Amino acid sequence: MGSAVVVGAGPGGAVLAYLLARRGIETTLVERQEDFAREFRGEVLLPGGLEPFQQMGLWDALQTVPQVDLHGGWLYVHGKHVLSLSFADDEFGPYGPRWMSQPGLLEMLVAEGSKHPSLRFLRGVTVTGLVEEGGRFTGVRLGGDGGEQEIRADLVVGADGRTSIVRRSGGFEVQQDPTVMDVVWCKLPPLAAMTDPPRLRGYTGHGHLLIASPVHDGMLQVAWVIPKGSFGEIRKRGMPECLDAMADHADPELAEHLRRHRDDAIAPFLLSTVSDHVRQWTRPGVLVIGDAAHTMSPVGAQGLNLAIRDAVVAANHLVPVLSSSAAAFAVEAAARAVEAERAREIRLTQRFQRLAPYLVLRDGWANRVFFAAVRRIAGAGPPRERVSRAFLRVAMGVDEIRLRV
């Protein structure tokens, strides 16, 4: 029987550790944080990220995690309501988009994985580097009060996010993608009109994008997408004036709410967006997945979902070889197969993420043509249905993912 060390108990790492451990593979999951309550985590689960929980047999456990089942979304262009999207059961089945507590999701995954004796979960432990022998990585080094320790394994999986120590220590070559946006996030008291039923709203035009949605803790989450590098001026003005500026782009109902609660913003912060990908997901003895392999921008809320899908595909290829005493070359071939299966969906998603901000955050002729087309489509029956189907396709994922182990 083989063994694995998974670095990072985010969505991809926690799902993969669960899937390996339940098949009896000796798995160590290492997480540097004591808890999962970090400043920012992607928390929108789309159908492509939800369906795997049904396949893993964790659907009932997923329902215990704090969440908001979003019934649809409204799009406003230049202050006018032009498009409504429904996340009705006949389109999505039980997999309608949800705003879910990621700390709660990760605690659930770790708890389910810990039911299997083959999983060892190390919380609050930092990986400081990789162990290398004979041109192959054979484990990880851990730092701590007790001095440096090592954990050996047949495969190290880096699922430790955009600042991945596994990616740096393994010498992975990274290709940076251009990003033109950052996001200012904050929470406000809830707006009743958006909670019954729960719907998110998006406002765009004149180079701005504002998104507001009810979330799992009963608050209203607000995101203002801004041109990269413009946060310094916003910070000088302060959050109350920032909310006033957001209100200028919202409908009258939300605008009044933003102005009324201009001094009530909770935990405002800037998310500096990054988009990149490693040129190869594998080195001898190492595989990277999720943001460690392909850091996603927040466009389309894809990062959380793609990490889960990476983990399912990784399990499909790794379980058969790690369940036996397979040679190192067989483990590495399985790791390469993960990249081969996942690269297309990641590549297409990142292309979409690069294009969307240019259409939204610029106020030139291309932007005006784009929004004119959106308004025309929104007013027609069949074209509107095509937009809904296109959104469904993106939300479900470009490729079909099925758990086979």
In a domain, 246, yes or no: yes
Domain shared by 153 and 267, yes or no: no
The pLDDT assigned to 26 comes to 97
C-alpha 258/C-alpha 156 separation (Å) is: 47
Q: Are residues 12 and 120 in the same domain?
A: yes
Q: Does 312 fall in a domain?
A: yes
248 assigned to some structural domain: yes
Tokens linked to 58 = 């964790």
| Residue 60: inside a domain | yes
Residue 79 domain-assigned?
A: no
Q: Residue 182's pLDDT is what?
A: 82
10 and 35 share a domain? yes
Please check whether residues 39 and 168 belong to one and the same domain. Answer: yes
284 lies in some domain: yes
| pLDDT of res. 375 | 55
- One domain for residues 107 and 159: yes
For residues 182 and 168, give the distance between their C-alpha atoms in angstroms, rounded to a whole number: 24
Give the model's pLDDT for residue 360: 67
Tell me the residue range of the domain where 117 lies. 3-66+101-177+274-360
Statement to judge: residues 17 and 50 lie in one domain: yes
CATH code for position 111 = 3.50.50.60
Classify the phi-psi angles of 65: left when phi > 0, otherwise alpha if psi is within -120 to 50, otherwise beta.
Answer: beta
Q: How far is CA 123 from the centre of its chain?
A: 21
- Identify the domain boundary among 335, 360, 385: 360
pLDDT at residue 89 in the model: 61
| Contact by Cβ (8 Å): 304, 102 | yes
Same domain, 7 and 150: yes
Q: Both 56 and 130 in a single domain?
A: yes
Tokens 């406003």 -> residue: 76
Q: Is the preceding omega at residue 197 within 30 degrees of 0, hence cis?
A: yes
| Residue 390 vs residues 356, 393, 394: alpha-carbon distances, Å | 15, 5, 6
- Say yes or no: 318 and 336 in one domain: yes
**Cα dist. 129→6, 72, 124, 216 in Å?**
13, 44, 16, 36
pLDDT at 328: 86
Q: Is residue 142 part of a domain?
A: yes
DSSP H helical segments within 137-251, as ranges?
Answer: 165-169, 231-237, 239-247
The whole-angstrom distance between residue 383's C-alpha and the CA centroid of its chain comes to 29
Q: Which residues contact 180 (CB under 8 A, 6 or more apart)?
A: 227, 228, 357, 358, 361
Domain edge (last residue) among 360, 378, 394: 360
pLDDT value at position 384? 46
Asked if 229 and 339 sit in the same domain, the reply is no
Based on the fold, state whether residues 49 and 62 are members of the same structural domain: yes
What's the structural domain count of the chain? Answer: 2
What one-letter code names the amino acid at 10? G
On whether residue 402 sits in a domain, the answer given is no
pLDDT in tens, 273-308: 888 999 999 999 999 999 999 998 887 788 899 999
CA angle 100, 179, 40 (to 5 degrees): 25
pLDDT given for residue 151 in this prediction = 96
List of the chain residues with pLDDT < 50: 382-387
Give the residue from 239, 272, 305 where a domain finishes.
Answer: 272
Q: Could you tell me if 32 and 114 lie in one domain?
A: yes
